[in-house]
Amino acid sequence: MRVIIRKNAQAACVTAARLIASLIHQKPDAVLGLATGGTPVNCYAELIRLHRCGELDFSRVTSFNLDEYVGLPREHAQSFYSFMHENFFNHVNIDPSRIHLPNGNAEDLTKACDEYEQSIACAGGIDLQLLGIGSDGHIAFNEPGSSLASRTRVKTLCHETIRDNARFFGSEAAVPRLSVTMGVGSIMDARQCLLLVTGEKKAAAIRSAIEGPVTSQVTASALQFHRFATAVLDEPAASWLSRKSHCDFAESSMPDPDEILR
């Protein structure tokens, strides 16, 4: 796994955005897998800035989001549908017909999950999947114990995730208990995976994901098996890595993503 370490969260988010922008420059009809949460907001802000500067065109891009809460109306302020439109889609020229999010309100959730997988396949697969990580090392809503071969499905949230997301809902009681999420197997099918993580609170999870054993108890650890996985971290998130100095040394010989559009 390529590990890029930046001084602070803003710099890490800019680097992640530049990697995404580079893909779109190379492939204007790229298929992006997108993530929600506090961490990617500044990454999306940089992509919006590049678009407004005329450096990035999303008109042919297709997107698939990782997950959505079950039973939360799309217009709810904390739905991932609302999050993505507020923080990204409403500010770039992506074609609304090319935007895809899991349907957490489908009458038949199992069928909706199968159709989501089929839609990804029909689009030619995901070129780059943006990811965050939970404090327990999960990716998307693939909680500890999830099958590393799992596909898009309904998943029960664990207490740690409910606790972490309570700040968005005002209380733990208000957080939905179920989600629709891409599986680990679905994520691993992406041609590239981009893990963006900031903050010391995620340092233990990052150490487990990057340097620990591959295990279903830390679903992000499956990325160790991905052929083209990149982790972009800020210094606090990288602070528990035992091989941090080697990551810095190895990265010094690689092209700098921040120079891509300069």
Return the active site residues.
Answer: 67, 136, 138, 143
What is each CA distance from 58 to 29, 44, 51, 91, in whole angstroms? 8, 12, 8, 10
Give the residue among 166, 101, 97 at the shortest CA–CA distance from 140: 101
Give the tokens for residue 84: 């993505």
**How far apart (Å, rounded) are the C-alpha atoms in residues 115 and 27?**
25
Q: Which residues contact 249 (CB under 8 A, 6 or more apart)?
A: none
**Residue 30 burial (CB count, 10 A):** 21
Q: By the 8 A CB rule, do 144 and 122 touch?
A: no
Give the Cα separation of 179 and 156 in Å (integer): 6
Q: Do 70 and 176 contact (CB within 8 A), yes or no?
A: yes
Beta strands in 37-124 (DSSP E): 62-65, 67-69, 99-100
203, 236, 63, 46: CA torsion to nearest 10: 180
Residues 6+ apart with CB under 8 A from 207: 240, 241, 242
